Structure 1
Amino acid sequence: MQEQLFFNIDKSDGGVHRELAPGITTTVFSGEHAQISIVRFAAGAKGTLHHHPEEQWGHCLSGSGLRFQGEEEVAVKPGDFWRTPGGLPHTMVAGDEGMVVMDIFAPPRKAYREAGSGFAVEDG
């Protein structure tokens, strides 16, 4: 069987599903050295403050919300993107219309290679 190399943001083919928190789901696509997570927030959904050793980049694709990162609270809208160094506590809260965010992890988060629930905080 040939490895899948092409994907669509609106389809989950080839991805791993996780429910991160009430109203927050993701589909995760993993490669050898990086990982993409398409996170969908219902209106007003709030994530859990967490951290992990992997570097994370985020990009707001639609909707709006607040990004909490370290001591910062930043409003985000489509087109905004950010970097979260490994180990820095962070979370998000969606605005009234919900939000879709693309997260990129390097290296890939081991726990996100499997379906499950929660943010799978990894200290190591």
Structure 2
Amino acid sequence: MSRFFPVPGECGHHTIFGATHIRTYAGDHLQLSLVDIPAQGVVDWHQHANEQAGMMVAGQATFYIGEEVKTLGPGDFYFIPGGVRHRVVADANPAQALDVFYPIRDEYR
């Protein structure tokens, strides 16, 4: 076991919003979450106190953040301030995103 090089078994594994799988890892102050959204999957409207930033890794998804809507693809970044409602919908293919949270979301450890 290494603090610096975690293996999948040391990560959090969760299913959210029906069929979206996430793998998470937290340091002392921030948390990464690798999100796998199935084709046409929906991460429905929600909000949390945590600040969230991320990047699309694969596929395309439409992000609804506050009053703005934009379809993002690999390499595109997004930012969601704490307390802002948001939703994500994958297109006809699976999508993958990497989220960063501050502070850590304990429910996803």
TM-score by length of 1: 0.82
CA-based RMSD of the aligned residues comes to: 1.3
For the pair 1:97 / 2:93, whether they are aligned, the reply is yes
**Structure 2: which 5+ runs fail to align?**
none
Give % identity.
30
Runs of 4+ in 1 over 3 A off after TM superposition: none
Partner of 1:108: 104
One-letter identity of the residue aligned with 1:4: R
* Alpha-carbon separation, structure 2, partners of 1:111 and 1:23: 17
Shift of 1:49: 0.6
Shift of 1:26: 0.2
* Alpha-carbon separation, structure 2, partners of 1:12 and 1:100: 17
For the 8 Å contact 1:38–1:101, the answer to whether it is kept is yes
The DSSP-based 3-state class of the residue aligned with 1:111 is helix
Partner of 1:6: 5
Partner of 2:48: 52
**Structure 1: which 5+ runs fail to align?**
114-124
* Alpha-carbon separation, structure 2, partners of 1:13 and 1:61: 22
The DSSP-based 3-state class of the residue aligned with 2:9 is coil
Which runs of structure 2 are paired with 1:68-79 in the superposition (5 Å)? 68-79=64-75
Number of residue-to-residue matches in the alignment: 109
* Alpha-carbon separation, structure 1, partners of 2:10 and 2:32: 12
For the 8 Å contact 1:28–1:35, the answer to whether it is kept is yes
* Alpha-carbon separation, structure 1, partners of 2:9 and 2:102: 22
